[in-house]
Amino acid sequence: MTNREIILGRIREALKITAPHPAFHDGPVTAPPLPASPQKWLPPVGGTLEEQIELFRRNAEDLKAGFRECTNVNEAGQYVKTLALAGGWKKIGLHSGDWTDPVARELGLPEVRTDGGYAVNDLESCDAGLTECEALVAQTGSVLVSAPGAGGRALSVLPPHHVVLARRSQMVPDLTAALQRVQEKFKDKFPSFLSFISGPSRTGDIERILVLGAHGPKKLTILLLP
């Protein structure tokens, strides 16, 4: 017998006695179907895109992330340039993309591109990581990134400043909608990595005092493009 069979056998044996369902105290009853979306219990989100953008802005601010709407990619490039000057960036990490390419051209800094693999120390010495994303979640102020859509796993966590370039059509109301979006996009071909990023890296492990930039980025900036 394999370990798999041993454990599954133990489980099947254990489950021969049914446990009462939490909704019914008087013994086992057929369980009610699970709700398709838990939205009615979760924090409310407005129905229009403008309301969602506004909620995302408030949440991002609470999470100490930067958020800015840009009318076009040039404006985004200009804004990232001010960040680069203020932060004294000497080198940036990025992946090739519709938005990342023009913004990187605007910056004109030495680049580490992660597309075809990279040297870890090379990426580690970058001052910022420039990525795109899968979705923005209004309800939580989160950015959803994936390995194929954001230059892999490390680009969005290793450099000390993470800059996200997103489009308005990527704004979704809640986590359910964000997860549904990736399920529809990838179907059975899921990437090995998906992450909801909610603000810059943080810790409260010393006296429960909030410190930003524990291991990941100290700063997170999200730019919303048309």
x/- mask, other proteins, residues 64-93, rule CB under 8 A, reads ------------------------------
Instruction: Please report how the helices 100-107 and 73-87 are oriented relative to each other, as an axis angle in degrees rounded to 10.
Output: 50
Regarding 43 and contact with other proteins (CB under 8 A), the answer is: yes
Collapsing DSSP to helix, strand or coil, 66 comes out as strand
Regarding 184 and contact with other proteins (CB under 8 A), the answer is: no
- Of 135, 199, 219, 225, the residue at the interface with other proteins (CB under 8 A) is 199
Regarding 187 and contact with other proteins (CB under 8 A), the answer is: no
- Judged by CB under 8 A, the chain residues 132 through 171 that form the site for other proteins are 140-142, 147-148, 151-155, 157-158
- 76 in Cβ contact with 70 (< 8 Å): yes
CB of 211 to other proteins, least distance (A): 4
- Of 47, 88, 108, 116, the residue at the interface with other proteins (CB under 8 A) is 116
Phi, psi of 203 (to 5 degrees): -150, 155
Maximum Cα interatomic distance, the chain, rounded to a whole number of Å: 69
In this complex, which beta carbon is closest to other proteins, that of residue 174 or of residue 225?
A: 174
CB of 122 to other proteins, least distance (A): 10
Regarding 201 and contact with other proteins (CB under 8 A), the answer is: yes
- 140 in Cβ contact with 200 (< 8 Å): no
Q: Which residues pair with 162 in a beta bridge?
A: 129, 220
Phi, psi of 170 (to 5 degrees): -90, -5
